[in-house]
Amino acid sequence: MQDIILELDSVSKSFDGKKILNNFSLGINRNEFITLLGPSGCGKSTTLRIIGGFERPDEGRVLFDGRDITGLSPDKRNVNTVFQKYSLFPHMNVEENIAFGLQLKKKSREYIRDKVRYALKLVNMEGYEKRSPTSLSGGQQQRVAIARAIVNEPQVLLLDEPLGALDLKLRQGMQRELIKIKKEVGITFVYVTHDQEEALTMSDRIIVMNKGIIQQIGSSKSIYDEPQNAFVADFIGESNIIDGIMRRDCLVEIQGAKIPCVDVGFGKDELVDVVIRPEDLVLVEEEEGYLKGMVISTIFKGAYYEIKVRVGEYEWMVQSVNPAPVGTMKGLTILPDNIQIMHKPHSADAEVSKEND
């Protein structure tokens, strides 16, 4: 049985007449790392601010351990927030910044000293107690901000795109640190990002959002391998998304080629969206492929080559460890298990562009 610590019940929120969240409901389990993922303006930061008490929903409730906390101010909730701007006090050293919340709670000097020491060890910042925040790197400031939040022992830690200002290497390092911290302290993490790689790396569950509506909830693997609609497939990783026709169960027609798949339950000759990941396509000799086209670009990406093959008016993206010379004709083939078939969306909210960059 799941142990839900935090619940949003039919929450709606509008700003200037524009609805940001629309009847949004979500249960968050105790001690899980959950990520709200989506493009700018999808409502993920508004959701976080409502959980933290910085915004009040127009409709709906926020429940903490079954208790309605919708009307409580941030300081009355057992929740701490780490923002992208770390907001460290420049006139205080690292130790004083971390201790600030505990001092407001009138904790003893010995208690504060022990807690600060523990928090610094947790974020690998021992020895930085007397340093000014302005003398620290961005990654070090982030660690101090996290230590300041953790030291208050919140049951839920909210993180609003906290790694956005860091370079790639620092960001990847902090991702590993956050996973370690979550395991050691047993806090529920609610993380907001538009960066799919962050979400896939750290999360127990990902909530993919678009226009204030949940598009899909699942583990990193299930979201990536089994996207429920074209929006999710397009937003999570690279995807080829193209129109198809389900001629019958387990047989889809793409660009005039009938290709075996594993999907069933669609109507005969139903128009569908077909999603194929670039790493699942295999380049073969022209006569061996389901589809045939010309290589129009080959770019070395380090671990693989990104190859574009034009078939008719569509440009297929392929990821392969082997290069393909521009101008050569190639065939494209794929295993049935690696084809995702989706119903056409019934609303504009689920639509995504199928045009290539």
pLDDT digits (tens, 9 = 90+) for 108-132: 888 988 888 888 888 888 888 889 9
CATH architecture of 4-225: 3-Layer(aba) Sandwich (3.40)
Place of tokens 């370690």: 180
Predicted confidence band at 194 (pLDDT cuts at 50, 70, 90)? confident
Percentage of residues in the chain with pLDDT exceeding 70? 95
β-partners of residue 244 are: 272
Question: pLDDT by residue (tens digit) across 143-173?
Answer: 888 888 888 888 899 988 877 767 777 778 7
CA distances from 42 to 64, 118, 236 (A): 24, 37, 15
Name the DSSP class of 314: E
Distance of CA 151 to the CA centre of its chain: 26
pLDDT of residue 311: 96
pLDDT grade, residue 357 (50/70/90)? very low
Q: Which residue has the tokens 């021992």?
A: 126
Predicted local confidence at residue 165, as pLDDT: 65
How do strand 33-37 and strand 205-210 relate by DSSP bridges? parallel
Tell which CATH architecture fits domain 240-350.
Answer: Beta Barrel (2.40)
- Could you tell me which of 318, 268, 257 has the C-alpha nearest to residue 292? 257
- Average of pLDDT values for 343-352? 59
Q: What is the pLDDT of residue 170?
A: 74
Higher pLDDT, 89 or 69: 69
* 201, burial (CB in 10 Å: exposed 0-12, middle 13-18, buried 19+): middle
**DSSP labels for 26-83?**
EEEETT-EEEEE-STTSSHHHHHHHHHTSS--SEEEEEETTEE-TT--GGGSSEEEEE
| 191 and 202 Cβ atoms separated by less than 8 Å | yes
Percent share of the chain, pLDDT over 90:
54
Task: Return the SS3 of 165.
Answer: coil
Would you say residue 318 has pLDDT above 90? yes
In this prediction, residue 350 carries a pLDDT of 46
Range scoring the smallest mean pLDDT among 79-83, 138-142, 178-182, 348-352: 348-352
67/160 Cα distance (integer angstroms): 24
> Which segments of the chain belong to CATH 3.40.50.300?
4-225
When pLDDT is cut at 50, 70 and 90, the band that residue 355 belongs to is: very low
Residue 24 pLDDT: 93
**Mean pLDDT of the residues in the chain:** 88
pLDDT interval class at 61 (50, 70, 90): very high
Task: Write out pLDDT tens, residues 15-59.
Answer: 988 999 989 999 999 999 999 999 988 999 999 999 999 999 999
Given a cut of 80, whether residue 356 has pLDDT beyond it is: no
Say what the pLDDT of residue 218 is: 94
Beta strands in the chain (DSSP E): 4-15, 18-29, 33-37, 59-64, 67-68, 79-83, 156-160, 188-193, 205-210, 213-218, 240-248, 251-254, 257-260, 270-276, 282-284, 291-300, 305-311, 314-320, 329-333, 340-343
DSSP labels, 184-204: HH-PEEEEEES-HHHHHHH-S
Q: What is the pLDDT of residue 72?
A: 92
Which pair of structure tokens corresponds to residue 133? 């925040």
pLDDT tens by residue, 255-285: 999 999 999 999 999 999 999 999 999 999 9
Q: Rounded to whole angstroms, what are the CA distances from 76 to 70, 115, 214?
A: 11, 21, 28
pLDDT of residue 65: 92
- pLDDT at residue 308 in the model: 97
pLDDT greater than 50 at residue 354 = no
Residues in the chain, overall count: 357
pLDDT at 32: 93
Straight-line distance from the first to the last Cα atom of the chain, in angstroms, rounded to the nearest whole number: 45
**Is the pLDDT confidence value at 348 over 50?**
no
pLDDT band at 339 (very low <50, low <70, confident <90, very high): very high
Q: CA 357 to CA 351: how far, in whole Å?
A: 17
pLDDT score recorded for residue 138 = 78
Digit-coded pLDDT (tens) for 91-105: 989 998 999 888 888
Position 154 scores a pLDDT of 85
Q: Cite the residue boundaries of each domain of the chain with CATH code 2.40.50.140.
A: 240-350
- Rounded to whole angstroms, how far apart are CA atoms 220 and 85? 27
Q: What is the pLDDT of residues 216-260, one digit of tens each?
A: 999 999 999 889 888 898 888 889 999 999 999 999 999 999 999
